[in-house]
């Protein structure tokens, strides 16, 4: 870009407008929050939940139904992401919600939806979650649903397929579903959905030559037990499951700050006798209002729900972006944001402590209220953000605690999952009721890269944890030179995260892994100069790095090229030109395409702030506006042992405790067996280091 003065001038003007647009979006309290847009199952299930509980009202039903109609595709179905193919289960749930709203079966939009459903296999071909909703209203037989015995909560953490073998989002869903499946309620819907049946028989179970075949046979046995459970054991399991659920309710009334466990937890507790006036249910139902978005349209008001909210993530990204754009650490916006982020650090253990009982807390969560489930991805980004703000008296301590928690959450293989360490029991994926997306939380390239970059910034790039992470990322590179993106779309996101992390860790830009990653990006650049990757790449490799250009994905590619020393390349100039040419007059960018991922292949997200923060970061770095980060205090301490007392799992109502009892030895020298022999393990404060690193 250096040779094109005109492009540089236009890019500078683009950056200034984008920076001001981002600054204007900050909340007075210091945080940013963009809408988190998903698909109409959020609204359909909200209406069905309210119908089941007897609290559905016209002021909720009518604007929600209007939104669902607005999202229907011309072919009759509803998709899981903008521009994507229609999805059977999503369409069935939307159809049921519109029937609930009074839409006639023979209306044109309903006829088109029904024809799509029948062509795709009807109710018989829907996923398990959809059939659970149908069973609640007598539209699917309970005995034809997979067994989810509540006795699973009684299994100790070392026992295979205990609740902690599942990812946090899955375990929070499975426990209440186990209660619902055991009670097997049926309540009136006011109509039937027989018109969506094909009459076809269910597919035969998988062959016994495959593990999934044996698990399907186990499901048959468990369904037999469901008909005649051991009554004392079942009563104890139901009581323990209810306690487990109540202990994990957050201050805002949610469970994990996400829709599925929230909805199913309310239903489960209600079925166990909790009245709607009970504080747990009352708080839970009231909490949905914060996640509700209402807009005025020419057709009237529409109402939609966010599946989750991302203020911590959005704020950290915004701070980094504005610092990249040239704002200094003392800028009032960064000072306010830094103070808010410091207030959000989590100082109580959560479910992650089951696998890391001796690790002191110190992470950050995604949401406003989610003390039970901080995640490594948010924590990494917050550490990077706090380094860019003017330190107050808490910053150095927060950085130390956060870095220590991240080190302790490293998995045995050297990578990081999002919410848990070593959550890799792959057999869970083959269980019959686990057809709703990823149910475990193994290390991924994007999360590992973000954590590595943060540790290099606040700790040491040559630490044992960082060097093991580098080896993990080098092993994870795809044959084509890219990296998989678990939480963003997809290989553009993964590659855009990994290349800056590897450079931060000290790999030279001419390292073969980096040059192959750069080549992959430049080969996938669109003719218009931008980058895009369709979400279908999670199922079809032909879509990897292919798709219409978007602001966020173009910025990810530019950030990677800048880090890899290719910021002056023709490819980078083309990407900058795309951002310049597609900016709105107000300084923002339009991005209807989804570039975020919940469950690869199943659930996708449009983060409305992505289109703003990442272009600001990319343009700021490429234009050289990035000031030096604020200095970070480091201290080295001798090795010592940290006792692990019993600690509360959650600060929510009815908190329970997990038993620690083990001792985490910190400091000392790394051991052989896949680790780096003789490399000292640096710690930063007594009592704040994590678990000793397990051999890779």
Q: Which residues are catalytic?
A: 377
C-alpha closest to that of 643 among 335, 426, 360: 360
Interatomic CA distance for residues 286 and 271, integer angstroms: 19
Interatomic CA distance for residues 319 and 649, integer angstroms: 30
Interatomic CA distance for residues 608 and 560, integer angstroms: 22
Give CA angle at 372 (371, 377), nearest 5°: 80
DSSP run (H or E) holding 332: helix 332-343
Q: Measure CA 242 to chain center.
A: 25
Tokens of 137: 């209203």
Tokens of 477: 């590179």
C-alpha closest to that of 434 among 196, 50, 152, 83: 152
Beta strand pairing call for 596-599 and 300-305: unpaired
SS3 content of the chain, % helix, strand, coil (to 5): 50, 5, 45
Sequence-distant (6+) residues with CB within 8 A of 531 are: 492, 521, 524, 525, 545, 549, 550, 553, 554, 556, 557, 575
Classify residue 510 as exposed, middle or buried by CB count within 10 Å of its CB (0-12, 13-18, 19+): exposed
Q: Whats the size of the chain, residue-wise?
A: 696
Handedness of CA 28, 30, 34, 36 (dihedral sign): negative
C-alpha closest to that of 532 among 473, 503, 491, 562: 491
Interatomic CA distance for residues 312 and 344, integer angstroms: 8
Interatomic CA distance for residues 452 and 455, integer angstroms: 5
Interatomic CA distance for residues 31 and 258, integer angstroms: 20
Tokens of 94: 């939307």
Interatomic CA distance for residues 613 and 166, integer angstroms: 32
């Amino acid at each position: 870009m250096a040779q094109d003065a005109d492009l540089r001038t236009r890019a500078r003007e683009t950056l200034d407008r984008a920076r001001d647009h981002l600054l204007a979006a900050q909340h007075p309290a210091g945080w940013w929050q963009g809408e988190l847009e998903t698909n109409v199952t959020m609204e359909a299930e909200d209406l069905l939940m309210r119908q089941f509980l007897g609290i559905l009202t016209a002021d909720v039903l009518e604007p929600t139904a209007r939104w669902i109609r607005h999202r229907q595709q011309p072919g009759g179905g509803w998709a899981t992401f903008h521009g994507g193919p229609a999805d059977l289960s999503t369409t069935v749930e939307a159809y049921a919600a519109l029937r609930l709203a009074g839409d006639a079966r023979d209306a044109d939009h309903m006829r088109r939806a029904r024809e799509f459903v029948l062509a795709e296999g009807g109710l018989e071909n829907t996923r398990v979650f959809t059939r659970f909703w149908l069973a609640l209203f007598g539209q699917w037989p309970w005995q034809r649903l997979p067994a989810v015995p509540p006795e699973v909560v009684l299994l100790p953490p070392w026992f295979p397929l205990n609740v902690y073998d599942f990812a946090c989002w899955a375990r929070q869903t499975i426990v209440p579903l186990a209660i619902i499946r055991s009670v097997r309620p049926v309540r009136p819907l006011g109509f039937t959905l027989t018109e969506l049946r094909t009459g076809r028989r269910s597919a035969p179970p998988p062959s016994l030559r495959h593990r999934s075949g044996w698990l399907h046979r186990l499901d048959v046995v468990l369904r037999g037990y469901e008909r005649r459970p051991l009554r004392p054991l079942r009563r104890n399991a139901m009581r323990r499951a209810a306690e487990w659920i109540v202990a994990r309710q957050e201050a805002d009334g949610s469970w994990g700050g996400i829709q599925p466990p929230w909805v199913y937890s309310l239903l489960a507790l209600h079925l166990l006798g909790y009245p709607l006036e009970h504080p747990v249910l009352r708080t839970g139902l009231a909490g949905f209002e914060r996640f509700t978005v209402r807009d005025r349209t020419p057709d009237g008001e529409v109402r939609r729900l966010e599946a989750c909210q991302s203020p911590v993530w959005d704020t950290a990204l915004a701070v980094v972006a504005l610092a990249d754009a040239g704002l200094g650490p003392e800028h009032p916006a960064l000072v306010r944001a830094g103070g808010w982020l410091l207030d959000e650090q989590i100082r109580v253990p959560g479910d992650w402590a089951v696998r890391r009982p001796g690790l002191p807390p110190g992470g950050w969560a995604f949401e406003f209220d989610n003390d039970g489930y901080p995640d490594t991805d948010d924590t990494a980004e917050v550490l990077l953000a706090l380094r860019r703000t003017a330190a107050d008296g808490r910053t150095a301590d927060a950085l130390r605690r956060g870095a220590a928690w991240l080190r302790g959450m490293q998995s045995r293989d050297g990578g990081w999952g999002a919410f848990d360490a070593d959550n890799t029991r792959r057999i869970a994926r083959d269980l019959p009721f686990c057809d709703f997306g990823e149910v475990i939380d193994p290390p991924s390239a994007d999360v590992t890269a973000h954590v590595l970059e943060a540790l290099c910034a606040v700790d040491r790039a040559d630490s044992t944890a960082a060097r093991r992470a580098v080896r993990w990322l080098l092993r994870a590179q795809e044959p084509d030179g890219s990296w998989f993106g678990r939480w963003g779309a997809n290989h553009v996101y993964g590659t855009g995260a990994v290349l800056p992390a590897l450079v931060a860790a000290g790999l030279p830009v001419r390292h073969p892994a980096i040059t192959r990653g750069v080549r992959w990006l430049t080969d996938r650049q669109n003719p218009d100069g931008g980058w895009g990757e369709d979400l279908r790449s999670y199922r079809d490799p032909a879509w990897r790095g292919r798709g219409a250009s978007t602001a966020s994905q173009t910025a990810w590619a530019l950030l990677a090229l800048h880090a890899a020393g290719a910021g002056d390349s023709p490819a980078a100039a083309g990407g900058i030109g795309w951002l310049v040419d597609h900016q709105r007059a107000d300084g923002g960018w339009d991005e209807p395409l989804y570039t975020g991922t919940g469950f690869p292949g199943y659930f996708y997200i449009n983060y409305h702030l992505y289109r703003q923060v990442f272009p600001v970061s990319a343009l700021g770095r490429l234009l050289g506006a990035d000031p030096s980060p604020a200095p970070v205090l480091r201290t080295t301490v001798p090795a010592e042992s940290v006792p692990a007392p019993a600690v509360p799992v959650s600060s929510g109502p009815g908190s329970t405790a997990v038993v620690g009892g083990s001792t985490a030895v910190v400091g000392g020298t790394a051991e052989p067996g896949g680790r780096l022999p003789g490399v000292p393990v640096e710690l930063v404060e007594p009592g704040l280091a994590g678990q000793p690193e397990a051999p890779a």
